[in-house]
């Protein structure tokens, strides 16, 4: 069976666990930096190219700071994410606010930080103008409807809650131009965790065609195009990562045909990838608490769906490695579970693994995005720590584990005001 490699040995994990009890997420700084540089290099032909890391994927300031050092911006979708990147030192066009059903407080925070605001609906033009005023630069999110197929995770564009229709976005540019907006961008994202590289080339073609149409019909010059995120990662060992050099070459060819050859203004290209940047370089480290045999065999972990929601929520595959048993034959079938009072609290179902024993260290792969970020407190379960494996091999805690004091802190009940575990 195809396997995935770990950046640490069982012995190294045992040493880490001595100071940081399981469960925890740990991220590989060296691999993240190398991946970020490779992503940027693929598009170095485009002057002004920028990747706006989707903060929602892994909202930890240590990781955002690392990516800023590599020249990345930040794509935020809430007031808290805006505040997070502000505390990292970001401002201005380093930041995009891409949100929906947006309250005034988020728009106000973005304008205060001089971030690029990406509108999700034509009604938001009036809402923005009325409540905080229109900034000089505005981007709008395009929903192409049946012009573009979505994929399994994000669904069909015409059923999605995101973005302007084709007619609305052209009218939106007319309105914004008449109200004195100076700089314009366009954005779309119609897939999630997509592994077909041609999909992203097709998305670029769709946006380039729209840019030409907007120029002709609304007299608006668009200066940047955000091709969104949605770039998938190979969760399964047999899958292949998206070849970003191939994607870049395809987009460059279209750029020359549809932007340069038609005399349109040079265009800055942006992405807002999250999963593709950090996803493969995070790991959920946990231990086996119990083994159970009924109608099936269960390996119960000290982690649960609180620590990684994707398998239970989407039926998503995450590879499982039993540390120290990488070379042993996968002869035993298990459901790998957590302790929530929900039967979908499973990391793997009918997974063939080596023989498992109580206290074995289990590593769940590809949790560097939409892992810890999607955590919650159902059953009063506490959220785990986040660690960073530094380039020099040291391990740093970058988020401590949640405590009972944290859990009860927001309650205004007299008996819990001075709660101490």
Question: Does 272 count as an annotated binding residue?
Answer: yes
Reported as a single tens digit per residue, the pLDDT across 240-298 is 999 999 999 999 999 999 999 999 999 999 999 999 999 999 999 999 999 999 999 99
User: Same structural domain for residues 58 and 112?
Assistant: yes
Q: Residue 196: CB partners within 8 Å, gap ≥ 6? A: none
User: Do 149 and 262 share a domain, yes or no?
Assistant: yes
Q: Binding residue per annotation — 230?
A: yes
Interhelix angle for 79-88 vs 61-69, to 10°? Answer: 60
Residue 154: band (very low, low, confident or very high) from pLDDT cuts 50, 70, 90? very low
Q: What is the CATH number of the domain that holds 291?
A: 2.40.37.10
Task: Write out the residue range of the structural domain in which residue 115 sits.
Answer: 29-279
Query: Catalytic amino acids?
Result: 341
Determine, yes or no, domain membership for 348. yes
Phi–psi pair at 226, nearest 5 degrees: -95, 110
Are 261 and 400 in a shared domain? Answer: no
Cβ burial of 30 (10 Å; 0-12, 13-18, 19+) is middle
Please tell me whether residues 160 and 258 are part of one structural domain: yes
273 labelled ligand-binding: yes
198 and 139 fall within a common domain: yes
Q: How far is CA 88 from CA 271, 277, 337, in A?
A: 20, 18, 36
pLDDT of residue 417: 63
Average pLDDT over the chain, rounded to whole? 94
CATH code for the domain in which residue 96 is found = 3.20.20.10
Q: Work out the burial of residue 362: count CB atoms within 10 Å of its CB; fewer than 13 is exposed, 13-18 middle, 19 or more buried.
A: buried
Please list, residue by residue across 397-409, b when 16 or more beta carbons sit within 10 angstroms of its beta carbon and e when fewer do: ebbeebeeeebbe
pLDDT in tens, 26-77: 999 999 999 999 999 999 999 999 999 999 999 999 999 999 999 999 999 9
pLDDT at 153 > cutoff 90: no
Are residues 38 and 156 both part of a single domain? yes
Portion of the chain with pLDDT greater than 70, in percent = 95
| Residue 261: per-residue pLDDT | 95
Q: Are residues 213 and 272 in the same domain?
A: yes
What pLDDT is recorded for position 3?
A: 81
105 is in an annotated binding site: no
**Would you state the pLDDT for residue 231?**
96
**What pLDDT was estimated at residue 191?**
80
Confirm if 402 and 382 have CB atoms less than 8 A apart. yes
Domain's final residue, options 238, 255, 279? 279
Residues 6+ apart with CB under 8 A from 3: 237, 319, 321, 326
Instruction: Give the C-alpha separation, 16 to 11, whole Å.
Output: 9
Residue 203 confidence (pLDDT): 92
Distance separating alpha carbons of residues 297 and 361, to the nearest angstrom: 18
Confidence class of residue 157 from pLDDT cuts 50, 70 and 90?
low
Number of domains in the chain: 2
Cα 221 to chain centroid, rounded: 30
pLDDT bracket for residue 151 (50, 70, 90): very low
Verify that 85 and 113 share a domain, yes or no: yes
**Strand spans (E) along 29-89:** 50-54, 73-76
Q: 275: annotated binding-site residue? A: yes
Tell me how far apart the alpha carbons of residues 73 and 89 are, in angstroms, rounded to a whole number: 11
Residue 139 lies in a domain: yes
In this prediction, residue 1 carries a pLDDT of: 56
pLDDT at 149: 57
Tokens representing residue 35 in the block: 């991946």
Q: 285 and 270 in one domain?
A: no
397 and 385 share a domain? yes
pTM above 0.85, yes or no: yes
Residues 197 and 289 in one domain: no
Q: Tell me, yes or no, whether 181 and 165 share the same domain.
A: yes
Domain edge (last residue) among 232, 249, 279: 279
Residues contacting residue 279 through CB under 8 Å, at least 6 positions apart:
57, 233, 366, 367, 368, 369, 370
Confirm or deny that 310 is annotated as ligand binding.
Answer: yes
CA distance linking residue 6 with residue 364, whole number of Å: 10
> Is 110 among the domain residues?
yes
Angle between helices 123-131 and 104-112 (to 10 degrees): 70
Q: Please check if 279 is assigned to a binding site.
A: no
Check: CB of residue 50 under 8 Å from CB of residue 116.
no
206's CB contacts (< 8 A; 6+ apart) are 144, 147, 148, 188
The answer to whether the Cα torsion of 241, 55, 380, 363 is positive or negative is positive
Domain assignment of residue 354, yes or no: yes
Task: Please indicate, yes or no, if residue 150 is contained in any of the structural domains.
Answer: yes
Q: Tens of pLDDT along 219-243?
A: 999 999 999 999 999 999 999 999 9
């Amino acid at each position: 069976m195809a396997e995935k490699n770990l950046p640490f040995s069982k012995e190294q994990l045992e040493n880490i666990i001595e100071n940081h009890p399981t469960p925890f997420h740990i991220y590989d700084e060296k691999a993240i930096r190398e991946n970020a540089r490779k992503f940027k290099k693929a598009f170095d032909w485009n002057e002004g190219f920028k990747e706006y890391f989707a903060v929602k994927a892994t909202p930890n300031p240590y990781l955002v700071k690392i990516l800023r050092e590599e020249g990345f911006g930040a794509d935020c979708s809430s007031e808290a994410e805006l505040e997070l990147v502000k505390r990292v030192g970001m401002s201005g066009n380093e930041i995009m606010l891409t949100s929906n059903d947006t309250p005034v407080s988020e728009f106000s925070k973005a304008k205060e930080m001089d971030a690029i605001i990406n509108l999700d609906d034509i009604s938001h033009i009036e809402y923005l103008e009325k409540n905080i005023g229109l900034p000089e630069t505005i981007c709008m999110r395009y929903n192409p409807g049946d012009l573009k197929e979505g994929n399994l995770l994000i669904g069909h564009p015409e059923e999605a809650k995101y973005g302007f229709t084709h007619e609305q976005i052209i009218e939106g540019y007319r309105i914004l131009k008449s109200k004195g907006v100076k700089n314009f961008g366009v954005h779309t994202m119609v897939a999630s965790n997509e592994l077909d590289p041609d999909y992203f080339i097709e998305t670029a073609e769709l946006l380039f065609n729209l840019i030409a149409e907007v120029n002709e019909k609304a007299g608006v010059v668009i200066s940047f195009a955000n091709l969104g995120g949605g770039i998938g990662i190979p969760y399964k060992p047999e899958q292949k990562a998206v070849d970003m050099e191939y994607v870049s070459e395809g987009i460059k060819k279209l750029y020359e045909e549809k932007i340069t050859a038609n005399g349109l203004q040079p265009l800055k290209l942006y992405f807002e990838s999250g999963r593709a940047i950090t996803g493969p370089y995070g790991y959920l480290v946990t231990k086996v608490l119990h083994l159970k045999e009924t109608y099936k065999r269960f390996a119960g972990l000290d982690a649960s769906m609180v620590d990684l929601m994707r398998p239970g929520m989407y039926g998503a595959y995450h590879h499982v490695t039993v540390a120290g048993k990488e070379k042993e034959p996968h002869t035993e079938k298990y459901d790998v579970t957590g302790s929530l009072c929900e039967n979908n609290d499973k990391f793997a179902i009918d997974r063939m693994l080596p023989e498992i024993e109580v206290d074995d260290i289990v590593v769940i792969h590809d949790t560097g995005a939409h892992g810890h970020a999607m955590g919650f407190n159902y059953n009063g379960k506490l959220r785990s720590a986040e660690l960073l494996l530094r380039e020099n091999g040291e391990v740093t805690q970058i988020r401590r584990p949640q405590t009972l004091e944290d859990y009860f802190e927001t309650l205004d009940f007299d008996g819990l005001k001075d709660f101490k575990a």
